[in-house]
């Protein structure tokens, strides 16, 4: 996959969203970029970069990632990934961490917000240590308790209340630091509500910053606290900063963060774990973070699709009869089968169950598509008929379309489906052959990207999943995502209708007011062996 991630990112962006993402480089062979756990749900975060009233310099805005980029300094502007990004693989610390319990992260473009007064947030008081906090300045920025009470979020917040707003600010000052000449808090957030603030301090690991701060604050929005649902041990993501492990040694100033990103799931189990367990009927009857988090209204169910490649002449998932099979070419082509699978969470969600697989791009990083005979592309069967909106396109790495930037060794097959044809609810599929070189499974390798639309025709979810050897063929399962590929989601992502921007606490059908229960993640860190 040498140098293939960044172009792939551009490709998947250009196909549907006309936006680029930032992943780059190639992972060392021993590094896993695939989640071994199915992504049953996903959540969406809108980053807001808070700048001065009249920003002139790029540094007039807060940092949004560990490369010290701002929305104004980054060459990719609004389409810049936020948080701690490992430049070696393109993986994000917070996405990897939440993927361990099957939750995938999607980011909208970064919104720039010019407000000098909002660049510094002050914590007014905390009822006990770092919990039960109030902050008028944060409430204003997060539009709370308005959003909890059902108000439509206004700029710079995302208009969808269940899209988490993550504000990047210059300083957050604790109640013990009222003069606030410099910040003393890494992160601050609503417990069981919408709103997260990340301070510049987070991106200085040699000071107190840590790569898990964005993931930790997301947990508070999910209603996970420092001592609930199994938090407390030093290796747990939600444990308070004063007793949470920081991977060592600390990265040198300006160095890559791969060492830290690789110490969390799926490559490490030394830090930022979440407790797993059964689903829960309510927060009050829950004993694990997985079950508790799955109750959150910020989650959307993930649809599932599979792409299978079978050697010529072998019985695969295909439903066609021998009589329907076309006469063999020389050599006979590989058979492809794309279908939408069953996923409990998706089937329980009207928007997910009726989400439509709009586009599939099969990317061969090893081997190539070859329809030079003009007849290797044969559709055996499809349900409904037709399922394809148009004849599939073969794209080449030297071209200027879906495969742009791949280089001459990469080939793509771009399949566009009729809206509503392939959904979880209708069990649609497509069974076809197309020539490849070589025409053997062993010689092929790659990734498949899946783009879903909601019934109203707007983008719903997207993921890329590598082809891996199974059952004598190659299989890509869209829920076993490639964590190094971060396709963006548009600002107008609508969320799941009916979801509230919190976890409801029965019998109440409305969100609690979070403004007196904010959580202050002070810049204190557990001393770990070997630290300084």
Residues of this chain that bind Zn ion (CB under 5 A): 519, 521
Q: How far is the CB of 245 from Zn ion (least distance, A)?
A: 14
CB 337 within 8 A of CB 308: yes
Residues 15, 412: Cα–Cα separation, whole Å: 12
Nearer to Zn ion, 108 or 517 (CB): 517
Q: How far is the CB of 282 from Zn ion (least distance, A)?
A: 22
Q: Specify the residue, 243 or 371, whose C-beta has the smaller distance to Zn ion.
A: 243
Toward Zn ion, which CB reaches closer, 212 or 521?
521
Nearest distance, CB of residue 223 and Zn ion, angstroms: 12
Nearest to 332 by CA among 315, 318, 312, 351: 312
Q: Where are the alpha helices (DSSP H) in 233-274?
A: 258-261
Residue 98 near residue 480 (C-beta atoms within 8 A): no
Q: How far is the CB of 260 from Zn ion (least distance, A)?
A: 18
Minimum CB separation of residue 512 from Zn ion in Å reads: 18
For 66, 69, 450, the CA distances from 22, given in Å and listed in that order, are 13, 12, 19
Find, among 262, 267, 149, 280, the residue nearest to 223 by Cα.
280
In the complex with Zn ion, the residue whose CB is nearer, 230 or 495, is 230
Distance CA 309, CA 432 (A): 10
Query: What is the CB neighbour count within 10 angstroms for residue 345?
Result: 20
Q: Which residue is nearest to Zn ion (CB)?
A: 521
Of 4 and 239, nearer to Zn ion (C-beta) is 239
CB of 135 to Zn ion, least distance (A): 14
Closer Cβ to Zn ion, 121 or 343, answer by number: 121
Q: How far is the CB of 237 from Zn ion (least distance, A)?
A: 9
d(CA 522, CA 532): 19
Q: Which residues contact 326 (CB under 8 A, 6 or more apart)?
A: 375, 378, 380, 433
Question: Rounded distance, CA 417 to CA 420, Å?
Answer: 8
Q: How far is the CB of 520 from Zn ion (least distance, A)?
A: 8
Contacts of 392 (CB under 8 A, 6+ apart): 377, 413, 414, 415, 416, 432, 434
Nearest distance in Å: CB 160, Zn ion = 25
Residue of 236, 186, 229 whose CA lies nearest to 84? 186
Residue 188 C-beta: closest distance to Zn ion, Å = 9
Instruction: Give strand pairing partners of 169.
Output: 199
Nearer CB in complex with Zn ion: 13/193: 193
With contact defined as beta carbons under 8 Å apart, do 33 and 23 qualify? no
Of 213 and 439, nearer to Zn ion (C-beta) is 213
Smallest distance, Zn ion to C-beta of residue 39, A: 24
Dihedral, CA atoms, 107, 113, 117, 121, nearest 10 degrees? Answer: 0
Q: Which is nearer to Zn ion, 35 or 236 (CB)?
A: 236
Closer residue to Zn ion, CB minimum distance, 335 or 521: 521
Q: Which is nearer to Zn ion, 300 or 519 (CB)?
A: 519
- Compute the residue count for the chain: 532
In the complex, the smallest distance separating the C-beta of residue 220 from Zn ion, rounded to whole angstroms, is 6
Taken in order 419, 422, 425, 428, is the CA torsion positive or negative? positive
Structure tokens that stand for 396 in this block: 């080449």
Select 308 or 519, whichever has its Cβ closest to Zn ion.
519
How many whole angstroms separate alpha carbon 159 and alpha carbon 492?
8
- The least CB distance from residue 224 to Zn ion, in Å, is 9
Q: Which is nearer to Zn ion, 25 or 241 (CB)?
A: 241
**Contact by Cβ (8 Å): 109, 166:** no
* The 3-state secondary structure of 428-459, one letter per residue: CEEEEEECEECCCHHHCEEEEEEEEECCCCCE
Peptide bond into 507 cis (omega under 30): yes
Minimum CB–partner distance for residue 131 and Zn ion (Å): 8
Comparing CA positions, the residue from 198, 182, 84 lying closest to residue 138 is 198
Nearer to Zn ion, 20 or 238 (CB): 238
How far is it, in rounded angstroms, from Cα 406 to Cα 8?
A: 7
């Amino acid at each position: 996959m040498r140098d293939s991630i960044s172009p792939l990112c551009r490709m998947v962006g250009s196909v549907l969203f006309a936006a680029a993402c930032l992943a780059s480089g190639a992972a060392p062979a021993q590094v896993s970029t695939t989640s071994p756990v199915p992504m049953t749900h996903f959540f969406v975060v809108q980053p807001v970069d808070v700048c001065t009233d009249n920003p002139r310099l790029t540094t007039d805005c807060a940092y949004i990632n560990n490369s010290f980029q701002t929305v104004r300094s980054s060459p990719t502007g609004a389409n810049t990934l936020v948080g701690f990004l490992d430049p070696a693989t393109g993986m994000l610390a917070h996405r990897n961490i939440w993927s361990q319990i099957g939750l995938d992260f999607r980011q909208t473009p970064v919104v720039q917000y010019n407000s000098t007064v909002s660049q510094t947030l002050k914590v007014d008081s905390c009822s006990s240590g770092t919990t039960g906090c109030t902050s008028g300045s944060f409430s204003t920025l997060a539009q709370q308790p308005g959003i909890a009470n059902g108000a439509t979020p206004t700029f710079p917040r995302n208009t969808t209340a269940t899209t988490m707003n993550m504000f990047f600010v210059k300083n957050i000052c604790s109640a013990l630091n009222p003069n606030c000449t410099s910040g003393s808090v890494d992160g601050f957030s609503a417990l069981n509500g919408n709103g997260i603030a990340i301070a510049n301090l987070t991106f200085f690991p040699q000071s107190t910053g840590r790569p898990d701060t964005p993931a930790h604050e997301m947990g508070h929005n999910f209603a996970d606290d420092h001592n609930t649902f199994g938090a407390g041990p030093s290796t747990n993501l939600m444990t308070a900063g004063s007793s949470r492990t920081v991977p060592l040694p600390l990265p040198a100033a300006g160095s890559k963060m791969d060492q830290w990103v690789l110490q969390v799931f799926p490559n490490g189990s030394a830090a930022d774990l979440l407790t797993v367990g059964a689903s829960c009927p309510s927060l009050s009857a829950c004993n694990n973070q997985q079950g508790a988090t799955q109750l959150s209204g910020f989650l959307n169910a993930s649809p599932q699709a599979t792409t299978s490649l079978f050697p010529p002449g072998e019985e695969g998932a295909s439903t066609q009869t021998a009589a329907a099979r076309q006469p063999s070419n020389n050599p006979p082509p590989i058979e492809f089968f794309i279908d939408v699978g069953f996923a409990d969470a998706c089937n329980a969600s009207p928007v997910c169950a009726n989400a439509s697989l709009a586009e599939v791009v099969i990317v061969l990083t090893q081997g190539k598509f070859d329809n030079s005979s003009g007849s290797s592309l044969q559709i055996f069967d499809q349900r409904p008929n037709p399922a394809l909106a148009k004849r599939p396109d073969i794209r080449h790495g030297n071209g200027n379309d879906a495969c742009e930037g791949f280089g001459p060794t990469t080939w793509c097959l771009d399949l566009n489906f009729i809206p509503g044809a392939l959904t979880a609810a209708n069990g649609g599929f497509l069974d076809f052959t197309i020539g490849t070189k070589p025409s053997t499974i062993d010689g092929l390798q790659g990734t498949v990207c899946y783009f879903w639309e909601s019934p109203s025709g707007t983008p719903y979810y997207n993921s890329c999943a590598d082809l891996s050897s199974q059952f004598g063929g190659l299989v890509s399962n869209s829920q076993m995502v490639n964590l190094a590929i971060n396709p963006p989601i548009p600002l107008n992502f609508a969320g799941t209708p009916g979801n509230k921007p919190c976890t409801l606490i029965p019998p109440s059908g409305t969100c609690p007011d979070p403004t007196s229960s904010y959580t202050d993640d002070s810049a204190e860190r557990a001393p770990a062996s070997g630290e300084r």
